[in-house]
Amino acid sequence: MNEIVVRELADSSIRDWLDVPHFVYRDDRHFVPRLDLLERARVSKRKNHFFGHGEAAFFVAYKDGRPVGRISAQADQNYLARYQDATGHFGFYDVPDDAEVSRRLLAAAAGWLSSRGLRRVTGPFSLTINEESGLLVSGYDMPASVAMPHAAPWQPALLERAGFRGIRDLLGFRFKPGSLSDTAFWQLMKIARKTSFNARITIRDMNKRNFDEEIRTIVDIFNEGSRNSWGAVPLTAEELSGAIGDYRLFFRKNYAKFICIDGKPEGFIFWPPNLVEITAKFGGKLFPLNWARLLYAFAFEKFRSGRMPLLGIRTAAHSRWRSFVLFALLFEHWLKDLARYDLDWMELAWIVESNRILVDMLRESLGPPVRVYRVYEASVEHLLAPGGSA
């Protein structure tokens, strides 16, 4: 029959939503299912703090009654207040190699956006640029990394066939801690040690007893430092706290570090261990036994990789040179701390391609990016036109 039907997600169909990635990536050895408990929270208006400043709809495609694809459509008021360009977003673009399934899902998302007066769509963002961003277009044959989107090689072509075009690439670099000697990074760190204001600088770990206050400090620094970055949307303390709150029990103080001048935090690095390395065999299930396995892995630090998703330096009060000095000193301290873990790799992701100074330094020090995630745009009107997304 090959009958395709797209339905908006309802509470009764949440299992279908969760099952789609298992179907789409069933032959992909690098696919790691997300924990069902956390995936349910991501689409919950009650649990996801995105819904404090945005709205979204979630759609599932069925082929002959079986859930085979999914997508989200969202309108972020924080984004619209800043850019005022009638742009909505899409995310959770998990589709099989089936142009008609993709077309139907994109049309459903476009219809929802159009009903809210939005004329342009960008993404994928699940659900904002501060979360999982971009569609993987290079680096499929690599181990997965925590809180980074998964994709299949056919999906970029399906988007482009529908009328989307790439507008920005987000780059992911990997390195083995301890391998950066005699690189541009290393030279910058050597110069930074000789700066005149070093005596006023201290570097400390996160104070877990003041967890909420430390989260607010991270958000404040991040938003100030990224204000002029491409596509930047303010991160909220509630969103960050919610994202890591489920792992607060496992969170070690050295997973976040602050660099301070005269005691005031001026920058930070945040890095979690690579959770998917631990949960790869969980099948998305945390209970009844996998919770204990996760606790054991964190308690005894049984991980071989990690990712640095957030880095921030206050820029308003510092020259570009001083900001780089702060970054270099903080980075050096962080690398020394990483040495005790003997990691196979650490991921720096993502860095927008237009940040040429940082990207060039990373290329020189670490080699080319190992993964590239592309952000696309399209006209909502085009996606809704007859044959427009064919």
The secondary structure of 235-272, three-state, reads CCHHHHHHHHHCCHHHCCHHHEEEEEECCEEEEEEECC
Using DSSP bridges, classify how beta strands 87-94 and 66-76 pair: parallel, antiparallel or unpaired.
Answer: antiparallel
Report the distance separating Cα 274 and Cα 305, nearest Å.
5
The amino acid occupying position 296 is: Y
Report the distance separating Cα 47 and Cα 211, nearest Å.
20
> What is the number of alpha carbons within 13 Å of residue 364 lying toward its C-beta?
14
Task: Return all residues near 275 (Cβ < 8 A) that are at least 6 apart.
Answer: 146, 147, 247
Report the distance separating Cα 166 and Cα 383, nearest Å.
16
Hey, what domains does the chain have and what are their CATH numbers? 4-170+373-384 (3.40.630.30), 175-371 (3.40.630.30)
Residue 246, number of CB atoms within 10 A of its CB: 13
The amino acid occupying position 144 is: A
Q: Which residues on adjacent β-strands are paired with residue 135?
A: 374
Question: pLDDT of the chain along its 390 residues, tens only?
Answer: 689 999 999 988 999 999 999 999 999 999 999 999 999 999 999 999 999 999 999 999 999 999 999 999 999 999 999 999 999 999 999 999 999 999 999 999 999 999 999 999 999 999 999 999 999 999 999 999 999 999 999 999 999 999 999 999 999 999 998 777 667 677 777 777 777 667 789 999 999 999 999 999 999 999 999 988 999 999 999 999 888 766 677 788 999 999 999 999 999 999 989 989 989 989 999 888 898 898 888 888 888 999 999 999 998 666 777 888 888 889 889 988 998 888 999 999 999 999 988 898 889 888 999 999 999 999 999 999 876 665
Are 128 and 82 in contact, with CB atoms under 8 Å apart?
no
Residue keyed to tokens 């797209």: 6
pTM of the model: 0.94
Q: How close are the terminal C-alpha atoms of the chain, in Å?
A: 20
For residue 213, with 0-12 CB atoms within 10 Å meaning exposed, 13-18 middle and 19 or more buried, which class applies?
A: exposed
Report the distance separating Cα 306 and Cα 327, nearest Å.
19
The amino acid occupying position 7 is: R
User: Could you tell me how far CA 364 lies from the centroid of its own chain?
Assistant: 24
- Of 137, 162, 192, give the one whose Cα is nearest residue 324: 192
